[in-house]
Amino acid sequence: MIDIQNLVFSYRNGARGEASGFGMRIEKFTVPKGISAALVGPSGSGKTTLLGLIAGTLRPSAGSINVNEWEISNCSENALVKFRLHYVGQVFQTFELLNYLTVIENVMLPWFLAGSGRKAEKLERARELLASVGLESKALSRPDALSQGEQQRVAVCRALFNDPALLLADEPTGNLDQGNKQKVVDLLRDQARRHNSTLLMVTHDEALLGQFDMVFDIYSVAASLHGDSI
C-alpha cells in the first residue's frame, strides 16, 4: 500500500540544490495494497515527481510517505537503495536501458546490482519475461538495435524481474502500438495480481483507464506550490 500524508516537496535547481520556488503539496494520497491504479494529468503537472517521491529518489521537505512497512520519508540513503532494488520495479519514460549490455543482461540488471541468487534461475526468469512480451529472439541483441516499442517492453521486463511489491510505471505504453500496449498493461496487471503488488501507472491513454481498479487525477492528488507558500 502507498500512503502519503501532508507531504511538501520543493523542486531544487542546479548542482547546489537551491530551492526553485516551485513545489507540490499532497494532503493525503492512498493506494491500497494489491491495487492497480492509474495516474493521469497533463505533462508537467508532477506525475513523474510523485513517482520519484514514492520510489525514494526524491526527498520531501515535510510529511510522510509509507509503502507497506517502509517509511520512505525517514529512510537512510542505504535503506532506500535496498528498498528500490528489492521492493520496487520502475518503468521510466525514456526506457533508460544500457546499450553496452545485451537485452537479457538489461533485464537481469537488478540481479547484477543485488548480486544474490543463482544465475541459472535468474537467466530462466529473464527469458520467461522476454518471451511474455515476444522478445525472446532478441535476447542477445543490443538495445540500440531495437525499435522504441521493443525497448519499452525490455524496460518493463527489467521492472518486473524481481517480482516487486510496488510497480511504478511512467507512461510505459507511450511508444507502443495498440497490440503491444495491451500486452504491457496485461503484463503489469498480471504481475500485480499474482504477487499482490501495488501498481501505480502514469498514462495519457484514456482507453486503458477502464482496466485499472483506481484512477487518480494528479490535480485531485497534489496541489502546486510556488513562492512563499513552500
Binding site for another protein (CB under 8 A): 55, 57, 77-78, 81-82, 84-86, 88, 90, 92, 96, 98-101, 105, 109-115, 158
Inter-residue contact 225 to 25 (CB < 8 Å): yes
- Rounded to the nearest whole angstrom, what is the least distance from the CB of residue 126 to another protein in the complex? 14
- Rounded to the nearest whole angstrom, what is the least distance from the CB of residue 66 to another protein in the complex? 19
3-state helix, strand and coil shares in percent for the chain, rounded to the nearest 5: 40, 25, 30
- What does the alpha-carbon distance between residue 47 and residue 55 come to, in Å, rounded to a whole number? 13
- Rounded to the nearest whole angstrom, what is the least distance from the CB of residue 3 to another protein in the complex? 22
- Rounded to the nearest whole angstrom, what is the least distance from the CB of residue 173 to another protein in the complex? 20
Nearer to another protein, 29 or 92 (CB): 92
C-alpha cell at 153: 517492453
Nearer to another protein, 202 or 225 (CB): 202
- Rounded to the nearest whole angstrom, what is the least distance from the CB of residue 57 to another protein in the complex? 5
25-29 own/partner pairs: CB under 8 Å, 24+ apart:
25/222, 25/223, 25/225, 26/50, 26/63, 26/221, 26/222, 26/223, 27/223, 28/4, 29/2, 29/3, 29/4, 29/216, 29/221, 29/222
- Sheet order of strands, 198-202 included: 88-91, 166-170, 198-202, 36-40, 214-217
